Each structure stands twice: as structure tokens, then as C-alpha cells.
Structure 1
Amino acid sequence: MTFKTLVASTATAIALASAAFAMNPTVGGAPMLEERNIIENAVNSPIHTTLVAAVQAADLVETLQGEGPFTVFAPVNDAFAELPAGTVETLLKPENKAMLQKVLTAHVVAGDWSAADIIAAANASPDGFYHFNAVSGDALSAKVVGGDLFIFDESGNAGKVTVADVDQSNGVIHVVNAVLVPK
């Protein structure tokens, strides 16, 4: 191998590594494509089937396919399973659609907020919390604890961001391990 070939091979390897870092993270092993919208990616995530079913039952599919931008804190299936027995089933009933919409929109923030933006806002705050509102009108707070980003609902329940910055054509998803419950 000549020096020129070695340099070319190294440059190619660096370029491929850089491209790999620029790609969206996978969610539940599924690729999340930046050119797809929030719904188009969510339906491919095997760890968000409960969330997708809830979004469909709440008639929020069209909204979350809209232009946005939206920041979505997307609870995984296990987060919904941690709710008291019967909660999900009750919320999915047609007569509880307004309540389900409120719960789901408590996970959505207007704008495209990266984890770095949220962390910077929290770190700049005197109390270490960044306070903001979901599109439902409910208060959310963000705090960095032990190097991890947590999102708190109005009751003080926290969801840890387990996968951050999953870019979408109409915003960003941050995967969380808890359901944020509005008051």
C-alpha cells in the first residue's frame, strides 16, 4: 500500500465516520429518517406502538404530520405500561378523546428544541430548571441530573430523555421513559 492510498483510505474512513455521526439515532432498532415527519417515523418505532395508537385514537395524526415545527417528548410502551392498571384502556375510549388529547399534547412543545438547547436553558436558570409550556397549556420543566436530561410534568413526575435529537422534517423527537401527566 502506498502512502497516497493510505491517506485516501483514511480520508474515506473519516468521511464515513462523520456521516454516521450525522445520521439520526435509531429508535427501538428502527431507523428514523430526517425527511419523514413525526408520524411517519413514529409508526416505524416498535417501542412506540402505544403512543401511535393513542395519537390515532385522539385524532392527532394530521396535526403531527403538519408543518410544525414540533418538539415531541415521546413516551415508550413501557412508560404507558407503568400507569395505573386500566388507564390506557380508559383513555382510548371514544368518550375520553378530549382527555387523551390533553395528555398527548402535554408531550408536545411548539418549536424545534434540541437537547443542547434545552440543557443550555436549564443550566442558565438560577434554579437549574428550564420552565416552558406544552401546546396543551400545561407547564413542563427540564433539568439536568447526573448528566441526564429529565422533563418534569406539573405534578413533579419526571421522564428521562433516553434518546435525544431524533430529527424529523417537521421538528424533533426526544424519547422519554415516562408519561407526562397533566393536572
Structure 2
Amino acid sequence: MFVVNVFAPIDAAFNKLPSGTLDNLLKPENRLLFITVLTYHVIGGREYTSTRLLVTKPPFNLTTLEGNTTSITLSGNNLKINDAIIIIADVLATNGIIHVLDTVLLPPSRQQDADQQTIYLCIMVIS
């Protein structure tokens, strides 16, 4: 059985995205982009419980199904993946683990796109 670790953002995490980002991701013509963002939230191969993540001694990187790496860090008592805090850890599933996040993870190229969209929106407001 293929084991997966899903890092699932809470609903409120989507409100942190730049305006229009989620709507754009859900458009039929952006299906591949949606899949890219979705698979950036999944790490396969072995179970990564919070205990295993801590025993591995953060900081370290893990590769997502999307192909880019994520950074696992410890900030105070908070276990983080990139800039997202794991707010609920170790929800057991049939074929893996679910960790609930406070922030949507964006692959590096998509993060740059989101940042550029934010800058563009700011320029529009200032103009």
C-alpha cells in the first residue's frame, strides 16, 4: 500500500490567499495548476507522524508528490512545514497521516505567482 501524508489547510487558510487566487485555481482551464498545488500538500513513501518529524531533528526537507521540496522546521513549540503551522497533527487515515495546517502551501513557482499578483493588485489600488 502506498502511504501518504496529507498536509490539509483549514478553511480559514484560504482567506489568507491573495484575492482571486482560489477562484482562479478552480477554473476548468487551470486544472493542471490546481493539481500542482494539491500535490504540493502530499508527501508519499512513509508515514511522517509528528513524533517522527520531531525525532528527525528539524530543520530538514521533504519532497512532495508535486516534485518540489518543503522545509520542516520547529518554531518554539510549533512544528511547521514551510510557513504553515501544523495546528492538528497525526489524524490517522487508512493509508497514511493527515496534518491540518493554518496556511495553504504554494509550490515555489506558485508562491512567486501569488506574490506577483499581490504586487499587481497593490499597484492597481495605488494607481
| TM bucket normalised to smaller | 0.7 to 0.9
- Whether 1:134 and 2:59 are equivalent positions in the alignment is no
- Whether 1:178 and 2:103 are equivalent positions in the alignment is yes
In structure 2, runs of 5+ residues without a counterpart are 110-127
Q: Deviations over 1:34-83 (max 9, x none)?
A: xxxxxxxxxxxxxxxxxxxxxxxxxxxxxxxxx53100110111111110
SS at match of 1:118: helix
Deviation at 1:94, TM superposition (A): 0.6
| TM-score normalised to structure 2 length | 0.81
The 2-side partners of 1:141 and 1:120 are apart by 15
- 1:70/1:170 contact within 8 Å kept: yes
Q: 1:24-173, aligned counterparts within 5 Å?
A: 67-110=1-44, 111-121=46-56, 123=57, 128-152=58-82, 158-173=83-98
Q: Which amino acid aligns with 1:77?
A: D
The 2-side partners of 1:93 and 1:68 are apart by 30
Moved over 6 A (4+): none
The 1-side partners of 2:68 and 2:40 are apart by 6
Q: Deviations over 1:114-152 (max 9, x none)?
A: 01111111x2xxxx4111100100110101111110101
SS at match of 1:113: coil
In structure 1, runs of 5+ residues without a counterpart are 1-66, 153-157
| TM-score normalised to structure 1 length | 0.57
Structure of larger gyration radius: 1
Residues paired across the two proteins, number = 107
The 2-side partners of 1:177 and 1:68 are apart by 26
Q: Point out the structure with the larger strand share.
A: 2
Q: Deviations over 1:5-50 (max 9, x none)?
A: xxxxxxxxxxxxxxxxxxxxxxxxxxxxxxxxxxxxxxxxxxxxxx
What do you get for the CA RMSD once the two structures are aligned? Answer: 1.0
The 1-side partners of 2:92 and 2:70 are apart by 21
